[in-house]
Structure 1
Amino acid sequence: MRIKGATLLVALALAPAALTGCGGGGGGDGEAGGTINVFAASSLIEAFEEMKETFEEENPGAEVRLNFAGSSALLTQIQQGAPADVFASADEEKMNRALEDDLVQEPRDFVTNELAVIVPESNPAGIETLEDLADEGVTIVLAEEGVPVAEYTEDLLDNANSEYGEDFSERVLGNISSREVDVKAAANRVSLNEADATFVYESDITPDIEERVEIVEIPPDLNVVATYPIAVTTATTNEDLANRWKEFVLSEEGQGILEDWGFEPAR
C-alpha cells in the first residue's frame, strides 16, 4: 500500500445547498470537463483520493468532488436530494435501495473486501483470537448500526456461533462500548488505544494505522465478503463525466489503484 493523506468530508455536515455550490457545474453537454460529486463509502477514502488525482490529470478541465461517509448516511442524503452524480456503496443492500427508489442507474460491482479485527499495538486486553472478543471486560468499538461494516460484523458473528457457542455473538455485541460514525472512526479509536478492539475492512489497515495496531486473524471459513457497487445517479447534471468516472473505477488502471489500497477484484 502507499502512504497517502486523506480528507474526510463528513457528509451529514453538508447541506444540499452547500453541495450544489461546490459541484454540478458541468452540465450534461457531453464534454469531458465540468464537475461531479462522488458520494463514496468512507473505506474508499485513500483509494478514491489517489484516483481523483489520476482522473483529473487524464481529463483536463474535469473536477471530482469527493464526499465520504458511511454508506447508510450517503444513501439518506441522496434520498433527501443531495446533488450526487455517482454513488459508491460498501454493500449491495444500500445500492439496491437506491435502485428501487430510482435514484441510480445500472450499478456495477467493482471491488470486494473482507473483515479484520484490530487491537492496539500494546493489546492491553490480551486478545489473541476472535473468540477472545467475548471475554468479560473487553471494550469494543464498532460503526453505527446500519453502516455496512457493522452489518457485515453481525453476519460474521452469527457464523461464529457454530464455532464458539450459540451465545457468542450476543456476548461480543454486549462488549460494544461505543458506536462510531463509520469504520475509519472506529479504527482510529483503537489505533489511539481508546478501545480494546474493532472490526474493520482489510483495506482500512493503511500504513499509518498498521504501525499502531495488531491484527487478530479471523478464521477464513467464518469471514464474510463485502461487495462494493458503483452507479451513476439518475439526478446527475453531468452524465458524461459521471460515466467516465465510473468506467475509470472499473478500468484496469482504476482497479490497480484499488488493489494497491488493499481491495480485491469483484467476484
Structure 2
Amino acid sequence: MALVFSLLAGGCGGGQASGGGSSSSSPAAEGSRTLTVFAAASLTNAFGQLAGDFQKEHPGVRVRNNFDASSTLATQIEQGAPADVFASADTQQMRILQKKGLIEGAPRVFAKNREVVIVPRSNPAHIRSFRDLAKPGVKLVLAAKDVPAAVYAMQILGKAARDPSYGSSFKKGVLSNIVSREQDVRAAANRVAVGDADATFCYASDVTPDIRNKVKVVEIPRTLNVVATYPIAVVKGSKNARLAREWVDLVTSQKGQRVLKKWGFMLVSSG
C-alpha cells in the first residue's frame, strides 16, 4: 500500500498558467526551456506580442509573462519567486532589487510613458478638463499607493498644488474623491471602462483597443505631467540567463521599440 500511495503521489502535480505562450508538454521541459518574465501590468499587450516573436525565433522556448503592479512583482522576487527578467514601470522598484543584490548588471531603460485621465464614454460626472477632477462627488479610482502609476499621479498632484493656478485645495479636492484603490493600473482603467467609476489616472498606453471605444481621454497639462521611465534587467540567479539576456536585447532593439510604440509607449529617446 505504501508503494502504491507513493506512485500515485508522484503522478499528481499542478501547473502554472502562462501569460504569453503555449503550454509545455512536461514539467522537466518547462523548467529548462521556459523564460519567466515579470513585467508591469501596463506592458501586457506589448510584451504579449513580443513573447510570440521571441518564441518563433527560439523554437522549443516558452515565454511565461507574469503581469502585475511593479511593486508587487518586486516583492515576489525578493521573496524568492522564480523570475528570469524584471521589467518595471519605474526606477524605484528596480533600485530596491538592485540594493538587495537581486539584479544582474546594470538595468537598461527601454521605454517611457505619460499619464492621462480617462472617463467613461458617457462621462456621467461631466469631467471635461483636468480641473474637473476636484469637483465634489466625482468617483475617482486609483491604483494602490505603492504602484508606480499611483506614485506618478501623486507627483502630478504635487506639482499642481505648487502651481498658483491650481493650489493645494485642488490636490485636496482630488484626493477626497478617491473611492477605491485597485491592484494595478489596468484594474483601475477597467473600472472606468465598465462605468464603475467616473475617472482614473492611467498611462496613455493603457487606452488599448479593448477599452478605446468605452472611454474618453482627458489630457493632463504638460507642465504638470511627468514622464514614466521603464527599466529592464536580468534577475540574478536566473536559470535561463542566456535567454533572459536575449529577451532584454529584443525589447531594447529597433524591433522591440516598434512594438512598444505601436502599443502607445514613448521611445527611449523621447522627452
TM over 0.5: yes
The Cα shift of 1:159 comes to 1.0
Aligned to 2:31: 25
Map of 1:35-184 to 2, 5 A cutoff? 35-105=34-104, 106-161=106-161, 162=163, 163-184=165-186
Equivalents in 1 of 2:30, 2:202: separation in Å? 33
Deviation digits for residues 25-48 of structure 1, max 9, x if unmatched?
Answer: 23xxxxxxx221100000000000
Distance in 2 (alpha carbons) for counterparts of 1:156 and 1:22: 48
Residues in 1 aligned to 2:18 and 2:34: alpha-carbon distance in whole angstroms: 19
- Shift of residue 256 of structure 1? 0.6
What residue is the counterpart of 1:260 in the other structure?
A: 262
Amino acid of the structure 1 residue aligned with 2:62? E
SS in 2 for 1:264: coil
The TM-score with structure 2 as length reference comes to 0.87
- Residue by residue over 1:109-161, the C-alpha shift from the partner in whole angstroms, topping out at 9 and shown as x without a partner, is 00000000000000001001111100100010000010000000000011112
Q: Identify the residue that residue 12 of structure 1 maps to in structure 2.
A: none
Structure 1 residues 84 and 120: CA distance shift in structure 2, 3 A: same
How does 1:185-264 map onto structure 2 within 5 Å? 185-264=187-266
1:211-255 Cα offsets, whole Å, 9 max, x none, are 001111211111110000000000200110000001000011111
Q: 1:40 touches 1:69 (CA, 8 Å); kept in 2?
A: yes
C-alpha RMSD of matched pairs (Å): 1.6
Report the secondary structure of 2:125's partner residue.
coil
Which AA in structure 2 matches 1:70?
A: A
Between the aligned partners of 1:157 and 1:120, the Cα distance in structure 2 is 21
How far has the Cα of 1:80 moved from its partner? 0.2
Letter of the structure 2 residue corresponding to residue 111 of structure 1: A
Q: What is the one-letter code of the residue matched to 1:159?
A: K
Q: Give the Cα separation in 2 of the matches to 1:73 and 1:120.
A: 27
SS of aligned partner of 1:25: helix
Tell me the matched-pair count.
243
Q: Find the aligned partners of 1:84 and 1:24 in 2 and give their Cα distance.
A: 13
Specify the SS of the correspondent of 1:152.
helix
- After superposition, the Cα gap between the structure-2 partners of 1:214 and 1:52, relative to the gap in structure 1 and judged at 3 Å, is same
Give 1:167 shift.
2.4
SS in 1 for 2:257: helix
User: Is the CA contact 2:110–2:268 (under 8 Å) kept in the aligned structure 1?
Assistant: yes
Separation of aligned partners in 2, 1:244 and 1:51: 12
Please give the secondary structure, in 1, of the residue aligned with 2:168: coil
Q: Classify the secondary structure of the residue corresponding to 1:164.
A: coil
Kindly indicate whether the alpha-carbon contact (under 8 Å) linking 1:23 and 1:36 is maintained by their aligned counterparts in 2: no
Take 2:35 and 2:57, find their aligned partners in 1: how far apart are those partners?
15
Task: Specify the code of the residue in structure 2 equivalent to 1:169.
Answer: K
- Deviation of the 1:59 alpha carbon: 1.4
Identity over the aligned pairs, expressed in percent?
51
Q: What are structure 1's unaligned runs of at least 5 residues?
A: 1-6, 10-20, 27-33
Alpha carbons 2:125, 2:138 under 8 Å: kept: yes
Q: Higher relative CO (CA 8 A, sep ≥ 6), structure 1 or 2?
A: 1
The equivalent of 2:22 in structure 1 is none
Alpha-carbon distance in structure 2 between the residues aligned to 1:24 and 1:77: 20
Q: Secondary structure at the match of 1:48?
A: helix
The 1-side partners of 2:248 and 2:69 are apart by 19
